[in-house]
Structure 1
Amino acid sequence: MKFKLSIIALSLAFVLGCDNTNIQTPKTQTVSETESTAQLIERAKAIHKRVIVLDTHNDFSNANFVEDKNYTMRLKSQVNLPKMVEGGLDVSWLIVYTGQGELTEEGYANAYANAMKKFDSIHRLTQEIAPDQIELALTSDDVRRILKSGKKVAMIGVENGYPLGTDVSRVKEFYDLGARYMSLAHNGHSQLSDSNTGDKDQKWLHNGLSDLGREVLQEMNKWGIMVDISHPSKVANMEMMKLSKAPVIASHSSSRVMNDHSRNLDDEELLMLKKNGGVVQTVAFQSYLNTDKHNIFQEKAKSIYQQTADELGLALFNRKAYSALDETGKEKMINDWGLIKEKSQPLINTLSETVQPVDVADLVDHIDYMVKLIGIEHVGISSDFDGGGGVFGWNDASETQNVTIELVKRGYSESDIEKLWGGNLLRVLDDVQRIAQEIQNANSNL
């Protein structure tokens, strides 16, 4: 769904010409009454160019990391290099994702093989396909050096510790391959941790972390991998924040008070995260931001997508069916869904004029709430692009600057925006790596 600047301008013209008492803005900054809409947009664009713009969660398909089809091209994927350039997205955390399978030796072996393919794809992009355009960063200093050279930055997160199996030494292996954050579970309980999905039926495997999960967490602290609490259960999250010697992150979560979804963090978790020194990366995932609004719009949009699918002789994307497919089948379903969405876009845009979709304003509403609760130093931004993320106004990397425009409209300063877009996350990475070095030094003196 494209959210052109003309639409933002109309929205801003309305807001700036009306009573602003309902707009949540930091007390230190207010929207100027004399600044025109055009001036505000230009100021936001200038800020966007100056700060490091970092998105902590971008999924990808291995099929898009080969010689004849890759991120140097403007593919249908929400993230690729041309779209990063267009939207001013500097740093993309590419995700080594593995869906949850059986807790068996065979399951672990398949998961590990999948993770290795994902790591290989990222290394192929940065070392063989486009080393002149994007480089892998392992530290915050790397990020700044690479951006100064004029290239984009790739970083690696691991979504689901399932591929570790029962081999704790793989934590160091993943670190050596470039992983700088990891979650201990995804959708489904892993051998390491309960998942948020247990909320639905209140059935748990570990009642938090397993003993193996606690050991893995210690290894992550030791080697400098940030602990990601976005997918585990609340009990597991609280335990991880208590046990971790370093700050944690939620790589793609929003506020549960603002929208009651098990993938979001409630106030108790957020306040514990503040105490821990971590950061929550507010996610642009429609059903996590406003489930009711999302359901209403999707119900209306479903008939449009179905009509297009029927005309093309294709099937709509189905997450359950997708999970059961092999790599070839998954690639086809994703490509088919991309084509269906592309052909449906004109009618979806028309629908958005009468039925309000979840948009950038909803994303920033969550940012506002969490900034007020735990402070600007503990909040960041993520998209979950190519993994289900995207809202009206920020539906791919090319539209990234629209988030900055909304933040400026709300009265956030350049310093605030710098922290939200990357400063906070890189500060946590620095802390985690510093503490890891301290742990290693202490162990070497024993």
Structure 2
Amino acid sequence: APEQIELALNSEDVRRIWNSGKKVAMIGVENAYPIGEDLSLFKKYHELGARYISLAHNGHSQFSDSNTGERDSIWLHNGLSELGKEAVKEMNRVGIMIDVSHPSKESILQTIALSKAPIIASHSSARAICNHSRNLDDEQLLAIKENGGVVQTVALAAYVSEEKSQARSDYMRQIYIQAADSLGLPYYDRSQFRSLSGEQQQEYMENRPKIRALGNELVASRTNAPEPTNISDFVDHIDYMVNLIGIDHVGISSDFDGGGGIAGWSDASETFNVTLELVKRGYTKEQIEKLWGGNLLRVLDEVQAIAKMLQQ
């Protein structure tokens, strides 16, 4: 639908498309694993429109250790591999933002030390508030500030409040089991999906919306349900990071396509609720603009300007 949405390759594109009334699309690659060992493909990805890439995802890659190594203390590279260090240089050269939301702490600190350009954490929150390996501790946050980068606070319940998220998840699982039973349908946890047969996976996809809809109806009438992670909890992370590293280094992300969503901001239609909470807490229009993409676009501009210099 080109009359409704358009691909942006730089900050000027973003503002032009937005001012035209269209939706803005940008391409990010959440795992560099498919690149293999051919560093020239970073340039190819850039030519195809990719403007940020992460060197690892939920598992170690040939470039970088992942935060998931904290589960078993097994690491492949103790940070970046030699190939990963070269990848950092190549992304700087071609003008791709380096995303550090999924790599390990050691990988992140090594990336910052090597990078000639600001980096981003596209979807991470504050570990001081929620002690999850996907979040960033104060040392990492301060290093990103020093680097000139930006951290996009993420509205994924388990990264905002692990305690509230787990309590709610455990409770809702029992509700969904009851809902499935009343509908005469089999119940499978999302974590089981890969181990299911093809037929069972099809059942899961067809039945999940029905089970969740009924389960949500059931829980709405109950007063003893654990409170879900909400917008106030989420903005607490923004407050914390703004106080620690400054308004110029903090942003906002939803991760709706990766498990994100909290009470009050469960999809794009509820986005205004986040802005409303920020206003209630005293954030100015200028500050809110920085949080809602202004800081990220500033980093994109700087990354692209540095790439031009490196290519001379």
Q: TM-score range by the shorter chain?
A: over 0.9
Deviation (angstroms), 1:200: 1.5
Determine the structure 1 residue equivalent to 2:277. 406
Determine the structure 1 residue equivalent to 2:2. 131
Determine the structure 2 residue equivalent to 1:113. none
Alpha-carbon contact 1:256-1:264 (below 8 Å) kept: yes
Determine the structure 2 residue equivalent to 1:343. 214
Determine the structure 1 residue equivalent to 2:297. 426
Q: Aligned partners of 2:77, 2:114: CA distance in 1, in Å?
A: 16
Deviation (angstroms), 1:308: 2.0
Q: Aligned partners of 1:361, 1:278: CA distance in 2, in Å?
A: 25
Q: Which amino acid aligns with 1:178?
A: G
C-alpha spacing 1:347/1:171, structure 2 compared with 1 (3 Å): same
* Counterpart mapping for 1:347-358 below 5 A: 347-351=218-222, 354-358=225-229
> 1:231-284 deviations in whole A, cap 9, x for unaligned?
000000000011011000000000011111000000000000000000000000
SS class of match (1:390): coil
SS class of match (2:258): coil
* Counterpart mapping for 1:197-212 below 5 A: 197-212=68-83
Q: Aligned partners of 2:203, 2:304: CA distance in 1, in Å?
A: 40
Determine the structure 2 residue equivalent to 1:194. 65
Q: Which amino acid aligns with 2:188?
A: L
Q: Aligned partners of 2:119, 2:194: CA distance in 1, in Å?
A: 29
C-alpha spacing 1:333/1:136, structure 2 compared with 1 (3 Å): farther
Alpha-carbon contact 1:317-1:337 (below 8 Å) kept: no
C-alpha spacing 1:132/1:307, structure 2 compared with 1 (3 Å): same
Deviation (angstroms), 1:309: 2.5
C-alpha spacing 1:410/1:330, structure 2 compared with 1 (3 Å): farther
Alpha-carbon contact 1:294-1:358 (below 8 Å) kept: yes
| Structure 1, 222-231 or 349-358: larger mean CA deviation | 349-358
Determine the structure 2 residue equivalent to 1:316. 188
Structure 2 unaligned runs (5+)? none
> Are positions 1:225 and 2:88 aligned together?
no
Q: Aligned partners of 2:230, 2:128: CA distance in 1, in Å?
A: 18
SS class of match (1:386): helix
Count of aligned residue pairs for this structure pair: 311
Alpha-carbon contact 1:224-1:436 (below 8 Å) kept: yes
Alpha-carbon contact 2:185-2:207 (below 8 Å) kept: no
2:161 equivalent among 287, 290, 310? 290
Alpha-carbon contact 1:317-1:334 (below 8 Å) kept: no
Alpha-carbon contact 1:134-1:152 (below 8 Å) kept: yes
1:180 equivalent among 41, 46, 51? 51
Q: Aligned partners of 1:183, 1:335: CA distance in 2, in Å?
A: 32
> 1:398-433 deviations in whole A, cap 9, x for unaligned?
111110011111111111100001100000011001
Deviation (angstroms), 1:147: 1.1
> Are positions 1:274 and 2:145 aligned together?
yes
> 1:196-220 deviations in whole A, cap 9, x for unaligned?
0111221110000001111111111
RMSD, matched Cα: 1.9
Q: TM-score, normalized by length of structure 2?
A: 0.94
1:261 equivalent among 109, 132, 153? 132
Determine the structure 1 residue equivalent to 2:241. 370
Q: Aligned partners of 2:51, 2:263: CA distance in 1, in Å?
A: 30
SS class of match (1:315): coil
Deviation (angstroms), 1:315: 3.0
Deviation (angstroms), 1:353: 7.2
Determine the structure 2 residue equivalent to 1:388. 259
Higher relative contact order (CA 8 A, sep 6+): 1
Deviation (angstroms), 1:302: 1.2
> 1:106-140 deviations in whole A, cap 9, x for unaligned?
xxxxxxxxxxxxxxxxxxxxxxxx11111111111
C-alpha spacing 1:364/1:290, structure 2 compared with 1 (3 Å): same
Q: Aligned partners of 1:226, 1:158: CA distance in 2, in Å?
A: 10
Q: Which amino acid aligns with 1:370?
A: M
C-alpha spacing 1:328/1:369, structure 2 compared with 1 (3 Å): farther
Alignment identity in percent?
Answer: 58
Q: Aligned partners of 2:64, 2:267: CA distance in 1, in Å?
A: 32
Alpha-carbon contact 2:176-2:211 (below 8 Å) kept: yes
Structure 1 stretches of at least 4 aligned residues deviating more than 6 Å after TM superposition: 325-332
Alpha-carbon contact 2:219-2:225 (below 8 Å) kept: no
C-alpha spacing 1:390/1:431, structure 2 compared with 1 (3 Å): same
Q: Aligned partners of 1:205, 1:388: CA distance in 2, in Å?
A: 27
Q: Aligned partners of 1:217, 1:272: CA distance in 2, in Å?
A: 16
Structure 1 unaligned runs (5+)? 1-129, 442-446
Q: Aligned partners of 1:431, 1:352: CA distance in 2, in Å?
A: 50
SS class of match (2:26): strand
Q: Which amino acid aligns with 1:135?
A: E
> Are positions 1:216 and 2:87 aligned together?
yes
> 1:126-157 deviations in whole A, cap 9, x for unaligned?
xxxx1111111111100111111111011111
Q: Which amino acid aligns with 1:386?
A: D
SS class of match (1:371): helix
